[in-house]
Amino acid sequence: MATIDKGAAPAFEGTTTGTVRNVDASVQEHDLRSRFIEIRKGVSGGLDLTQASVIVSGGRGVGDAEKLDVVRELADALGAQLGASRAVTDAGWLPHEHQIGSSGVTVSPKLYIACGISGAIQHTVGIKGSGYIVAINKDADAPIFSVADVGVVADLFEIVPALTKAVNETNG
Ligand SMILES: Cc1cc2nc3c(=O)[nH]c(=O)nc-3n(C[C@H](O)[C@H](O)[C@H](O)COP(=O)(O)OP(=O)(O)OC[C@H]3O[C@@H](n4cnc5c(N)ncnc54)[C@H](O)[C@@H]3O)c2cc1C
């Protein structure tokens, strides 16, 4: 069986051909180690980060739930979706559906902006399909810079509001 995470790669555009090869693999019910019980729908606010073309994410470096507004304002200015690291969702600053990474969602936006995110492997594995990654972190040695196309070593509370202002001015 082959499977791929939703959003792990950009959708293939065009046509391709393939052939289906049937493999005889008869399985008796008593061979199965798992069994179907029921389907339960998860509770979600309807956010689907896998389809977002621009995502601005906040990490623990933001500090607390209220200060996430700084990141949210940049996302709003760019018409982007708001993402987060697990540190943020575990702390309850944002619901789980915003979490990106190995135990969250895998995303492939054209632009991904990480604010105050260290770049643990469990997070970066979820953003590998991004077209362009911008990282803002005050620690020059943060691992996020090894996957970023543009790295800004700075306090996010200086850079992010300045970016938001510039985007809003450009938007007129
Ligand atoms: C089984 C398992 C699954 C996991 N799944 C996920 C997952 O799906 N997604 C995920 O994200 N993590 C996941 N994790 C957790 C992951 O290992 C990290 O702990 C988490 O990603 C850290 O989040 P963070 O980068 O926001 O926080 P931190 O690692 O604490 O990083 C905060 C960063 O903010 C910077 N910073 C602080 N203040 C400022 C400032 N004012 N301006 C700029 N920068 C600042 C710091 O320099 C630091 O680099 C998982 C872990 C395990 C064990």
pLDDT of residue 30: 82
Give the three-class secondary structure for 155: coil
CA distances from 151 to 23, 41, 95 (A): 49, 39, 27
Q: Report if residue 80 sits inside a domain.
A: yes
The answer on pLDDT for 144 being more than 80 is yes
Distance 87 CA to ligand 1 centre (A): 6
**CA–CA separation, 97 vs 99, rounded Å?**
6
pLDDT of residue 156: 98
Q: Report if residue 84 sits inside a domain.
A: yes
The answer on pLDDT for 5 being more than 80 is no
- Of all protein residues, the one whose alpha carbon is nearest to atom 37 of ligand 1 is 61
Q: What Rg, from alpha-carbon coordinates, does the chain have?
A: 19
**CA–CA separation, 153 vs 136, rounded Å?**
6
- Of all protein residues, the one whose alpha carbon is nearest to atom 40 of ligand 1 is 155
**Nearest atom in ligand 1 to 87's CA:** 23
Q: Report if residue 71 sits inside a domain.
A: yes
Q: Report if residue 25 sits inside a domain.
A: no
Kindly state the average pLDDT of the residues 5-23.
81
Q: Which H helix or E strand runs over 69?
A: helix 69-78
Count of beta carbons in the 10 Å neighbourhood of residue 86: 20
Q: Report if residue 29 sits inside a domain.
A: no
Distance 116 CA to ligand 1 centre (A): 8
Q: How confident is the model at residue 145 (pLDDT cuts 50, 70, 90)?
A: very high
Q: Report if residue 134 sits inside a domain.
A: yes
pLDDT of residue 63: 98
pTM to 2 decimal places: 0.85
* CATH number, domain containing residue 93: 3.40.50.1220
Kindly state the average pLDDT of the residues 74-102.
97
pLDDT in tens, 32-83: 888 888 987 766 778 899 999 999 999 999 999 999 999 999 999 999 999 9
Count of beta carbons in the 10 Å neighbourhood of residue 137: 26
Our count of domains for the chain comes to 1
Kindly state the average pLDDT of the residues 83-87.
98
Q: Report if residue 98 sits inside a domain.
A: yes
User: What is the domain extent for residue 68?
Assistant: 55-171
Q: Report if residue 1 sits inside a domain.
A: no
**CA–CA separation, 100 vs 107, rounded Å?**
7
Distance 137 CA to ligand 1 centre (A): 11
Q: Is the dihedral of CA 40, 42, 46, 50 positive or negative?
A: negative
